[in-house]
Structure 1
């Protein structure tokens, strides 16, 4: 057997193995790239003011990160702060660690360490704390199906499930309601 033939056969086998390996690596990279689709757009450290159908301010949003997902057209938010105007032009503040805006932009789902406070200078300030809250800016409604704590001067109310009309400050608990009344000093 000729040594040139043996060397050629070894080099041919090595070329086939390396080509096959490179082809498999490229297929794995393409699959990984498809699985992690890029966002339609990303905003960093922004402030956005959304208008309602009548042209008035529906809400203002501030956050360090916003990403729109191309698959379902939802918008993911990191540490959002929503400013929701009331009838008098003052702002309710709604904060959370994360948030998602629905594809048709009519619902905002706030999650993890949610805190809502009534407008500054309100004669009867209200603070709501929960882990989940859904906001409907067009109707000034907020709702939750989990445990919610509402604090006002002199009282604390806790219950599971809540619906709030932000414009009138009327809220309704659904179940497991507990109230603690602490009289204020005069």
Structure 2
């Protein structure tokens, strides 16, 4: 009989010990607070990335002043992103913005705030400089396509074009303006 009571008491003590361990592990792995989930897991300063084609020629380069990665959303936020793309003619285009975000799972770079697309000058005497401005732009990095549904302004020294929505293949230099297209031309 004593052995039964002793076994019962030991079983109860073991049960309480297991409950205490379970409570302790639940407290240690408590859900993250809202502030903790918004914390970045790494930062980067002065980021450079280059992509080459099958022939080994530079096809696209990306730089940013700063990058911040958030593990819960798997997003990276870039400050001052700049992209250089070489088109089929060998000319370079530059796409830049104040902010950019990219998810780890796709090749879509979302550019926001003062987005600008322009060809890079080969000669300092170039007078036909084109500048494309918009407030936000989605850039598909693998296809080298820039698109937006926001208002767009395209300016060169003699012409100003405004539109709502645009799609531009930077590789082939083909642009589609979606709606509300207005052109003002001032001949020299």
TM-score, with structure 2 as normaliser: 0.71
SS in 1 for 2:153: strand
Give me the whole-angstrom Cα distance separating, in 1, the residues matched to 2:73 and 2:52.
23
Determine if contact 2:112/2:136 at 8 Å carries over to the other structure.
yes
RMSD over aligned CA atoms reads 2.8
Gaps of 5+ in 2: 1-31
Residues paired across the two proteins, number: 158
Aligned residue for 2:24? none
Q: How does 1:95-134 map to 2 (within 5 A)?
A: 95-121=96-122, 124-134=128-138
Q: How does 1:155-174 map to 2 (within 5 A)?
A: 155-174=159-178
Determine if contact 2:52/2:59 at 8 Å carries over to the other structure.
yes
Gaps of 5+ in 1: 1-29
SS in 2 for 1:42: strand
Aligned residue for 1:31? 33
* Per-residue CA distance 1:88-141 (angstroms, 9 max, x = gap): 333211111100123234111110011111131386432100100111132221
SS in 2 for 1:111: strand
How far 1:45 sits from its partner (Å)?
1.7
TM-score, with structure 1 as normaliser: 0.72
**C-alpha spacing 1:44/1:154, structure 2 compared with 1 (3 Å):** same
